[in-house]
Amino acid sequence: MSRIGKLPISIPEGVQVTVNEENIVTVKGKLGELTQQVDPAITLKIEEGTIVLERTSDSKPHKAKHGLYRALIANMVKGVSEGFKIVQELVGVGYKASNRGQVLELSVGYSHNIFLELPPEIKVETQTERGKNPLVILTSYDKQLLGQVAAKIRSFRKPEPYKGKGIKYQGEELRRKAGKAASA
């Protein structure tokens, strides 16, 4: 039984949800518009400010898709009404981040700087404070795209387990290793 799939999704003020005959869900809000194709095994009912998803059978793939599409649609509704935010920290001596519009420039210990052009749906902001690690702040209404871009940025220099240097998510706990032991 899909516990996630059974939960109704409440539609906040200012958000419009429409479903067409090909099972394509469109969610419009103050921050943007998102669409998602839903499997024909899942039916959507919009009633009294809530969305309820139901599946046609209790087979294992249908149960899995029930929870999946409920989570995707809930993320779409939250994204167009509130938005999502990911903060990344650059840990390391001389690591820097700056942005010009939609182009993010990273200096993370290579012989060259890395330039990454971000999609227009994502807003980027960089903060550099003296004595603190530089921050890259990403905000968007599309959770899937935001996570993908954040993972791409992190892939340029993943945190290493000995000193913890690299690009990490703020609040992320890293597994640290002891390193070489002094010989006695």
Do 112 and 57 belong together in one domain? no
Q: Examine the domain organization and report whether 142 and 88 are in the same domain.
A: yes
Average pLDDT across the chain, whole number? 91
Which residue segment(s) compose the domain that 143 sits in? 84-169
Distance, in Å, from the CA atom of 182 to the CA atom of 184, rounded to the nearest integer, reads 6
Q: Can you give the pLDDT at residue 1?
A: 45
Tell me the C-alpha distance between 127 and 111, whole Å. Answer: 23
The predicted-structure confidence for 28-41, as pLDDT tens digits, reads as follows 999 999 999 999 99
CB-based burial, 52-74: b 16+ in 10 Å, e otherwise: ebebeeeeeebeebbbbbbebbb
Which of 48, 81, 114 corresponds to the end of one domain?
A: 81
- pLDDT tens-digit profile of 56-68? 898 998 988 999 9
Do 59 and 90 lie in a common domain?
no
Residues 88 and 56 in one domain: no
Last residue of a domain, one of 62, 81, 100: 81
**Does residue 58 share a domain with residue 105?**
no
Percent of the chain with pLDDT over 70: 97
Closest-CA residue to 27 (of 13, 12, 14, 17) = 17
Boundary (domain end) residue, out of 34, 60, 81: 81
Quick check: helix, strand or coil at residue 119? coil
Residue 164 reports pLDDT greater than 60: yes
pTM for this predicted structure: 0.88
Q: Distance between CA 74 and CA 68 in Å, rounded? A: 10
